[in-house]
A and B are shown apart, each in its own frame.
Chain A
Amino acid sequence: MKNALSEIYLGLKSLFIGMRITIGEFFKPTVTVRYPHQTLEIPPRFRGHIELVRDSATGQPKCFVCKLCEKACPSDCITVEGVKPEGARRKTVTSYRLDFTKCSLCGSCVEACRDGAIRFSRDYNLAGLSREEFIMDLFQKLESESPKPKTITAPPVNTTAVSPTAPVAAPQPPRVEPTKQTPVVAGGSVEASPIPAAQKVEVK
Chain B
Amino acid sequence: MMHATTDFIARFWPEPLRLVLFLVGIMSFVGFNAAYLVWVERKGAGRFQRRPGPTEAGFAGLLQPIADAIKLLSKQMIVPAGVDRSLFRIAPLLVMAPALAGLAVIPFSEQLAARNINVGLLMIFAFGSVNVMAIMLGGWASRNKYAIISAARVVSQNVAYEIPMLLVVITMILVSGTMNLNDLVKDQAGGFWHWNLFRVWINPLMPVTFLIFYTCMLAETNRAPFDMAEAESELVAGAYTEYSGMGFGVFFMAEYANILLGCSLGTVLFLGGWHSPLGFLPNLGPLWFLLKMYFLVFSVIWVRWTFPRTQFYGLLNLSWKILIPVSLVTLVLTSAMVKLL
List residues of A whose CB falls within 8 A of some B CB: 8, 12, 15, 18-19, 21-23, 25-32, 34
Contact = CB atoms under 8 A, between A and B. Distances in A.
A8 to B, nearest CB: 6
Interface stretch (B49-57, B73-81, B165-173): B49-57
B50 A25 contact: yes
Contact of B307 (A18, A25, A30): A18
Contacts of B47: 25-27, 30
A18 B52 contact: no
Nearest to B55: A34
A68 B169 CA distance: 82
A26 B48 CA distance: 4
A117 to B, nearest CB: 43
5 contacts: A18-B307, A21-B306, A22-B48, A22-B302, A31-B51
Contacts of B44: 26
- CB-based closest 3 A-B pairs: A22-B306, A26-B47, A30-B52
Interface in B1-57: 44, 46-52, 55
| SS class, residues of chain A in contact with chain B | helix
Contacts of A29: 50
Q: Count chain B CB atoms within 10 A of each CB in A8, A26, A31 and give the residue with the most.
A: A26
Contacts of B211: 12
Contacts of B46: 30
A30 B305 contact: no
A153 B215 CA distance: 81
A23 B50 CA distance: 11
Interface range, B side:
10 to 19
A26 B301 CA distance: 12
Interface in B291-313: 302-303, 305-307
Nearest to B306: A22
Nearest to A19: B306
Nearest to B307: A18
Contact of A32 (B51, B302, B303): B51
A72 B38 CA distance: 56
B83 interface: no
Interface in B267-323: 302-303, 305-307, 322
Contacts of A23: 302
Contacts of B306: 18-19, 21-22
Contacts of B50: 25, 28-32
Contacts of A22: 48, 302, 305-306
Q: Count chain B CB atoms within 10 A of each CB in A18, A27, A32, A34 and give the residue with the most.
A: A32
B303 A19 contact: yes
Nearest to A22: B306
B49 A25 contact: yes
Contacts of A15: 307
A12 B302 CA distance: 16
Contacts of B55: 34
Nearest to A32: B51
A21 B50 CA distance: 12
Contacts of A18: 306-307
Contacts of B307: 15, 18
Nearest to A28: B50
B116 to A, nearest CB: 36
Contacts of A30: 46-47, 50-52
A34 B52 contact: yes
Given A8-B322, A15-B307, A19-B302, A25 B48 contact: yes
A31 B48 CA distance: 11
A32 B55 CA distance: 12
Q: Count chain A CB atoms within 10 A of each CB in B46, B50, B303 and give the residue with the most.
A: B50
